[in-house]
Structure 1
């Protein structure tokens, strides 16, 4: 038994949305006291490190409302119910970049922000991409710009804070250490 475990006493469902659910849990702390935990329930996500033949990283720029600005990121998206992460990764790569692959390699999975969310993100990479003749439609509320960038350009974007999300920073570090 984990000596740091917080036992859930009660769960109050606050919000049920299309992407997330929000709950407030009453918990018993390891010292016997009680507290509240606000939790975001998420179905999970994938992200793809995709390199072109000329060793450029496929990236997308999109507006992120919580940041109130645009962000340059690696392709990523939410798992659909019952969908295998590798299938989600291929779908998101195709939708967001117009490229496809049948050579996705699993890297790792991690919690993106475990202090308040259970989102579990699966990360894949490929250096075998092919441009699709017809790009699949994006979601109706999704607008992205495609970029193909080398490490020098990516480092500039990081310095300018145009790249600030964890999955993309992790992906860049992974590339620097492994390529």
Structure 2
């Protein structure tokens, strides 16, 4: 995924890599420990997770309800309510990933797809970038979960999701950002190219 061009006005904030070491290499993530040069010339260490990138889908049914997932998240030891999402396979275009993840996890296919934007959910310790895709014109089918993947589907209105977020029941960062995009798009404040609010 491409990065925005460097802003020359930010030179006094920029950190430069002196050396880089892989500390851990797993199936999904790898951890690096980089020695860096600070803007004042001093050196420091930056430890961070390298992530292949991901997508999140905001699937909207014809009646306006949202297709959500309930899934156990091991690091938090609890079930989380979230929008469908998944990581990119090597060389996979993000739209193709969004279509694949929606179908595999929910069984739905969509007639309309539009890219809303992107988010970085852990900027202090990861380079993960998640693209937010909207999907409409949904047709239900049989899902194809990955081996070892267990999740329930839940249909939710935008207002219900908003209430659950406000009550602190939904804390997943990508889902909170997805709801923000959805509310602003429906209110006509934010534009999603190729998708008009219904």
TM-score range, shorter chain: over 0.9
Q: Measure the CA separation in 1 of the matches of 2:175 and 2:44.
A: 34
Q: Measure the CA separation in 1 of the matches of 2:111 and 2:160.
A: 27
Q: CA deviation at 1:141?
A: 2.0
Q: CA deviation at 1:160?
A: 4.1
Q: Measure the CA separation in 2 of the matches of 1:140 and 1:164.
A: 26
Tell whether the 8 Å contact from 1:70 to 1:162 is kept in structure 2 after alignment.
no
Q: 1:140 aligns with which of 147, 152, 164?
A: 147
Aligned residues: 177
Q: Measure the CA separation in 2 of the matches of 1:150 and 1:96.
A: 19
Q: Measure the CA separation in 1 of the matches of 2:161 and 2:170.
A: 8
Is 1:173 equivalent to 2:180 in the alignment? yes
1:12-91, aligned counterparts within 5 Å? 12-91=21-100
Q: Measure the CA separation in 2 of the matches of 1:62 and 1:110.
A: 21
Cα deviation digits, residues 84-128 of structure 1 (max 9, x gap): 000000111111111111311011122221111011111110221
**Would you identify which runs of 4 or more consecutive aligned residues in structure 1 move more than 4 Å?**
none
Cα deviation digits, residues 17-42 of structure 1 (max 9, x gap): 11000010111101111111111000
Q: Which has the higher contact order (CA 8 A, sep 6+)?
A: 1
Q: Measure the CA separation in 1 of the matches of 2:184 and 2:16.
A: 39
* Ranges in structure 2 where 5+ consecutive residues have no aligned partner: 1-7, 187-198
TM-score between the two structures when normalised by the length of structure 2: 0.85
* Ranges in structure 1 where 5+ consecutive residues have no aligned partner: none
2:135 aligned residue? 126
TM-score between the two structures when normalised by the length of structure 1: 0.94
